[in-house]
Amino acid sequence: MNKPIGIFDSGVGGLSVWRHLVKDLPNESVVYFADTANCPYGPKSQPEIIAVVDKVVRFLISKNVKLIVVACNTATAAAIDYLRATYNIPFIGMEPAVKPAALNSKTKSIAVLATEGTFNGKLYIETSQRFASDVDLHIKIGDKLVDIVEKNQINNSETENHVKELMAPLIQKNIDHLVLGCTHYPFLTEVLKKVLPAKVHIIDPAPAVIKQTSKILEENNLLSNNSLKPVYEFYSSGESQVLQSLIFNITNKKYIVKSL
């Protein structure tokens, strides 16, 4: 089926998932929506998140998408059950990659870096109880990290110092796996590598999410059979400069971001 895939986030973070999507599913056209006007989702209440996400989903459905990737851990935690109950279209959400971290940990000490909204979500709580019962699981709210990525302040010394401060208590806990529980955080991987011990494995859940996306497309007979070049569209509900900059960094191509 040659309809596009929809993907959205509260801002630019979902591009960390988009880049895996277009790499692993190169025949698929994609419509990306950055809800920058409402970023960040993390501090918002569940009803607030459902309200803003509902508008985004209705926009993507108006673009005739065949499946929607909720490329935001907070939005997944707060709204995915509502979305699946409301719309007759497959939704793929973000799942905290606690299971592989717990299974592969040698020190039996792992950490999840995420927003408050993700930690309060049912999915995170259930996943942690299921897969992390035999390890020490440490949680850390990524204070200011979404704003840092949204303002494209990734590679400055203040950011490195801030990340070092955030990671210090986790390093003291002898962690050997750090799960990135927000789609903005993979853009900070190089900074994290600088401040974390070499033994700490940083887990980006995006590849597993795209694997699930591919599986659902195949099961529902929705894979594109188009031999034409895929089309990538980008929309933003607010400022689009950082979005354009990160898209260029990922693709080395200039794409127009349409502001709504």
- What is the CB neighbour count within 10 angstroms for residue 221? 8
Residue where one domain finishes, among candidates 169, 187, 204: 204
Instruction: Output Rg (C-alpha) for the chain, integer angstroms.
Output: 18
The pLDDT value recorded for residue 226 is 75
Of 222, 167, 219, 236, residue with least CA distance to 197: 167
Annotated active-site residue 182? The verdict is yes
Of the chain, the percentage scoring pLDDT greater than 90 comes to 80
The pLDDT value recorded for residue 82 is 97
The pLDDT value recorded for residue 10 is 94
The pLDDT value recorded for residue 129 is 83
Question: For the CA atoms of 243, 62, 118, 40, what is the dihedral angle to 10 degrees?
Answer: 40
> Is the domain of 119 the same as that of 71?
no
The pLDDT value recorded for residue 62 is 98
Residue where one domain finishes, among candidates 188, 204, 220: 204
pLDDT in tens, 115-138: 887 887 777 777 788 878 889 999
> Is the domain of 125 the same as that of 176?
yes
Sign of the C-alpha dihedral, residues 168, 170, 173, 178?
negative
> Is the domain of 173 the same as that of 234?
no
> Is the domain of 116 the same as that of 240?
no
Q: Could you say which of 182, 188, 202, 209 is catalytic? A: 182
Q: What is the mean pLDDT of residues 22-31?
A: 96
The pLDDT value recorded for residue 96 is 80
Q: State pTM to two decimals.
A: 0.92
Structural domain total, the chain: 2
Q: Can you give the residue range of the structural domain that contains 217?
A: 5-93+207-259
> Is the domain of 124 the same as that of 186?
yes
The pLDDT value recorded for residue 119 is 81
Read off the CATH number of the domain in which 46 is found: 3.40.50.1860
Of the chain, the percentage scoring pLDDT greater than 70 comes to 100
d(CA 82, CA 87): 9
Residue where one domain finishes, among candidates 171, 186, 204: 204
At residue 88 the predicted structure's pLDDT band, cuts being 50, 70 and 90, is: very high
Contact 66, 151 (CB under 8 A): no
> Is the domain of 111 the same as that of 240?
no
Q: Residues 127-130: contacts with CB within 8 Å, 24+ apart?
A: 127/95, 127/96, 127/98, 127/99, 128/96, 128/98, 130/99
> Is the domain of 111 the same as that of 198?
yes
> Is the domain of 173 the same as that of 160?
yes
Q: Could you say which of 68, 72, 114, 206 is catalytic? A: 72
Annotated active-site residue 72? The verdict is yes
> Is the domain of 191 the same as that of 107?
yes
